[in-house]
């Protein structure tokens, strides 16, 4: 069974995709100046169903 990944960028999570597709998507975001990273499909579900706390620096 092929492992699936999701890309998280700008508080949004993509649909599951292959590793190669996820890498390509992160590179596209990088060229656009958008920070993004790859997580497993399971971790993506956990992030999707939780409140994301953005750190605030004083």
Domain layout of the chain by residue ranges: 5-48
Q: Half-sphere exposure of 26 toward its Cβ, with a 13 Å CA cutoff?
A: 16
Closest by CA to 10, choosing from 23, 25, 18, 24, is 25
Please list the pLDDT of the chain residue by residue as tens digits (58 residues).
Answer: 578 999 998 878 899 999 999 999 999 999 999 999 999 998 888 887 776 666 677 7
Tokens (6 digits) for 58: 């004083």
Q: What pTM was estimated for this model as a whole?
A: 0.74
- Conformational region of residue 11, where left means phi above 0, alpha means psi within -120 to 50, and beta covers everything else: left
């Amino acid at each position: 069974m092929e492992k699936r990944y999701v890309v998280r960028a700008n508080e949004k999570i993509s649909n599951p995709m292959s590793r190669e597709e996820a890498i390509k998507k992160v590179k596209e975001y990088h060229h656009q100046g958008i920070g993004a990273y790859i997580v497993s499909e399971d971790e993506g579900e956990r992030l999707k169903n939780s409140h994301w706390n953005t750190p605030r620096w004083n």
